[in-house]
Amino acid sequence: MGNEFNYKSKGVRTSDPFPKDSIPMHKINWEVSQDRCVISLYTLKFLEDKKYDDPKYELGIYAYDGSNDYLFNKNLNEISDFPIVFNIKKYGFDELKDTAKFEVFIFDPESKRRIAETKPIKLVPNNTIENLLEVRAKDLGKRIAQVDINSDGPVLFYNKHYITKRGNLNRKKIESIIESDPVFMCAYFPEALDKIFSHAFLKKSKERWAKKWMEFGKDLVPGAFKDINSKKIDSIDDLENYDDFQDELIKITDAWIKRFDFDKNLFSKFNNENND
């Protein structure tokens, strides 16, 4: 087995002057436990192109806040099963602050040089969008769901009494649809995200919920909205007629769909139905 080690320091991270590859966020699949002590990597799709096939290269997972840091590493050649689990508690865990983040990277253990790395990822469960979006049941007629924006932020309402010719869809079925159904996620939810991000953009300097959604947008697409000129934009109508802003919304929803593999799940769903 390869070495696994950890360390703690006050500096958290030193600068690295060497150029390195950026690991796309949609090419890894991870989860963080509710207590923020366990990081699990379920896929590392960026390794599929064999670009990092060097027997000495290792995978690193680095978790840190302003005063503590923890490092897990494993030789790439020894990675055969998933998930790869980094249980920080095993390494003398001190509770990390709310600002804690982690990074996934490839490095040369001899020179300590990073070859490729992700951007910093917040050390929180990977259901961030559920934390940002309140969900409630409501009578919605023939609609499955709708998004409303109130003073506290967006709310996703789902239909608690959906009646079809064959009878009622129970609440559990509706909840399953809005949580994971790829048709719902790829067809309806991008429109919902467009609405939420449009309102968040207009209120980002006034409302806390809006700032959080803008941060989430930048997490999905680094640099999102940075080139959008907010002068003379006072309404949703202004944003709907602003082509550059609409292009940013498309990038964000595409990144969201890819991050959670809804596009692949949609393909699998249709493929399985056609084979039945």
- pLDDT digit of tens for each residue in the chain (276 aa)? 344 444 444 344 555 666 788 898 778 889 988 788 899 999 999 898 888 988 999 999 999 988 888 999 999 999 989 999 999 988 777 777 767 889 999 999 998 899 999 988 888 776 655 568 878 788 888 888 999 998 778 988 888 887 777 777 777 778 778 877 888 888 999 999 999 999 999 999 889 899 989 999 998 999 999 888 888 788 999 999 999 999 999 999 999 998 888 888 888 877 776 666
Distance CA 53, CA 177 (A): 41
Asked if 197 and 190 count as a contact pair (C-beta separation under 8 A), the reply is no
Q: Which domains are delineated in the chain?
A: 21-122 (2.60.40), 128-275 (no CATH)
Distance CA 270, CA 8 (A): 49
127-155 residue pLDDT tens? 655 568 878 788 888 888 999 998 778 98
37-87 residue pLDDT tens? 899 999 999 898 888 988 999 999 999 988 888 999 999 999 989 999 999
Q: Distances in Å between the alpha carbon of 49 and those of 11, 76, 93, 108?
A: 34, 14, 35, 18
